[in-house]
Chains A and B, each alone.
Chain A
Amino acid sequence: MQNSLKQQPDERGHFGPYGGRYVAETLMPLILEVEKAWNAAKKDPKYWAQYDELQRDYVGRPSPLYFAEPTTKKLGGAKVYFKRDELNHTGSHKINNTIGQILLAMRMGKTRIIAETGAGQHGVATATVCARFGLPCTVFMGATDIERQKPNVFRMKLLGAEVRPVTSGAGTLKDAMNEALRDWVTNVHDTFYIIGTVAGPHPYPSMVRDFQSIIGRETRAQMLEREGRLPDLLVACIGGGSNAMGLFHPFLDDASVKIMGVEAGGYGLDKSHAASLNGGRPGILHGNMTYLLQNTDGQIEEGHSISAGLDYPGIGPEHAWLHDQKRAQYVSITDEEALEGFKECTRLEGIIPALEPAHAYAQVMKVAPKMKPSDIIVMNMCGRGDKDIFTVAEKFGVKL
């Protein structure tokens, strides 16, 4: 199709000026090898048959599209639907991607898996598929994140993964990714790096997007079946941006569908936050060019968000491109607003959201009342909140 927004990236992994392969030469042959293997796997029906079977029987897909009636009534505007990816095995959308990547790793004959994690959801999803396929797994996790995501750390260990604490920098997701890249460069011959988001060197941003697009493809079919038409607005939270890219991508060419990504506003955009598009500038980090939180000297600044999964100073390069193209609108929600969303969703819907989609929910609370009752919103409920109860309890001054 001509002028399709779905044709990105180019053959070198560029989404307009963003993306690319900004890695040390030691990694280049590996990156090229991953790309070659991925291009072959993509065309192999047997590969997808195995992926589809695991998504159905192991993950529990398709995830339901749920009409959030109490939220709709309370907000008094657009009809609100949740895409229920928090019901997936392991509790988030992350496993959509880890299944795709571990199948690829095994095709390539790799015998050891590494991953980075922030909130621990990607770490758990990686440790899970490693347990399932019997591969050793090392997960790099910032020491600060280990402290605030204890349940997921324990979960990873139960699944047989080694969780390696990263103390460099602020000990969060960015530092975990640095350390994972350092490990990969050291163990190039046997190791596959399962990146958890739509960032990193090409082919990761588009590969992870293709795995996560199962969210948007299902949503599209379910919406057509249920309402006989496409939604008017998609809302998803963004750290690196994988759940959002997965929901958005199949709708990019549907001009009637508005797209809204929700960044972590932290303490506020004039203070400490993790909103790369709203508060950053283009730069180069972790293998790609994209919007980054940085100072004038190009030194990367630590993000802040109440949600460890959004606490990343960059964003996937395709989001950077969609932002410049104005195809998607990127807004931000503060910690306080996200906590309100968390409370409201829990009480109204009987669904405890992860703090990440609580940002998306808080945005829905803002926009739904301004829309018509005939309008339809789909929000991606990309993770469940069990992992966050300690953080939330502390914020509410409750001792567990």
Chain B
Amino acid sequence: MTNRIDTVFAALKKEGRAALVTFITAGDPNATKSLEVLKALPAAGADIIELGMPFTDPMADGPTIQASALRALTGGADMHKTLQMVRDFRADNTTTPIVLMGYANPCFQYGFEKFASDAAQAGVDGLIIVDLPPEEDDALLVYTTPANLHLIKLVTPTTTEDRLKAILPKASGFLYYVSITGITGAASANFPAVKKHIESIRKHTGLPIAAGFGIKTPGDVAAFKSAVDAVVVGSAIIDRIGVEKVSVANDATAFVKTLRAAL
């Protein structure tokens, strides 16, 4: 069984272009508008969509995504609604990969086995669980592998070659390179240092590498595109959702178009 993530990276490799990965939080600012934005993202240029599973205590996230999760939770978001949102998206899009991103506890409370199975059936292609390092991910990995879900691993500026040996055997789909030591939405990444580190990581893996955290503008996207297989933009898109405007979807998608134009 092929996974949409693999299909997209294979196609873009032929095309010679890096993928645009966009992050939004499920249910932000409410269920209706969030689904509207989600559905509009592929046409605006998103190749892969990361859908945030809201959590009360997002310890790797900056103020923008914290506020976004809080808006979603206040609006009644939960894991069942997040999965329903994926099903609704899949009703008219069967090609754009969806990666659920979030923290371990909501998945653990849902039940790792049921979560992996329900997510795969809803049309999810991969998972990024920020606080589940290789030391603790076996309990979930036993269910994601048979469900054909990629459990995407994070690599950071603090990752040494020794550490890569613990991470790579468990990685699939793509590697998510956290381009700053810090939280989402923080200071811009140091591109030359990131590029150098990513080049050294490529010696150890053939997996596509995506860079995220601290990538905010079309300029950032343009700087990164030659060094990576995908760029991830999150907080800068959510900034367009968080403000009360007439059309959240239009603002967010217009911005995504400018990001895509930079690739």
Contact = CB atoms under 8 A, between A and B. Distances in A.
A interface majority secondary structure: mixed
A23 B131 contact: yes
A189 to B, nearest CB: 8
Contacts, number: 112
Nearest to A182: B183
Contacts of B183: 182, 185-186
Interface stretch (B38-46, B90-98, B100-108, B246-254): B100-108
A188 B158 contact: yes
B239 interface: no
Interface residues of B, number: 41
B interface majority secondary structure: loop
A162 to B, nearest CB: 19
Interface of A: 12, 20-26, 28-30, 168-169, 174, 178, 181-182, 185-189, 281, 283-287, 292, 294, 296-300
A297 B136 contact: no
B178 interface: yes
A298 B104 CA distance: 9
Given A285-B105, A297-B79, A25 B156 contact: yes
B59 A286 contact: yes
A235 to B, nearest CB: 31
B163 A28 contact: yes
A30 B133 contact: no
Contact of B106 (A20, A24, A286, A297): A297
Nearest to A28: B133
B59 A25 contact: no
A285 to B, nearest CB: 6
B66 interface: yes
Nearest to B213: A26
A281 B63 CA distance: 28
B158 A298 contact: no
Given A186-B186, A283-B105, A298-B109, A24 B60 contact: yes
Contact of B59 (A28, A181, A283): A181
B156 A300 contact: no
A300 B107 CA distance: 13
Interface of B: 55-60, 62-63, 66, 73, 78-79, 103-110, 130-133, 135-136, 153-160, 163, 167, 178, 181-183, 186
Contacts of A22: 104, 131-133, 136
Contacts of B163: 28-29
Q: What are the 6 tightest A-B residue pairs by CB atom distance, in nearest-first order?
A: A298-B109, A298-B106, A186-B182, A25-B154, A297-B78, A26-B156
A162 B220 CA distance: 34
Contacts of B63: 168
A168 B105 contact: no
> Which of A26, A185, A186, A299 lies at the interface centre, i.e. has the most chain B CB atoms within 10 A of its CB?
A26
A185 B133 contact: no
A281 B108 CA distance: 11
B114 to A, nearest CB: 13
Contacts of B73: 299
B57 A169 contact: yes
A186 B132 CA distance: 19
A20 B139 CA distance: 13
A287 B131 CA distance: 7
A169 B73 CA distance: 12
Contact of A24 (B105, B108, B110, B130): B130
A239 B156 CA distance: 33
A300 B154 contact: no
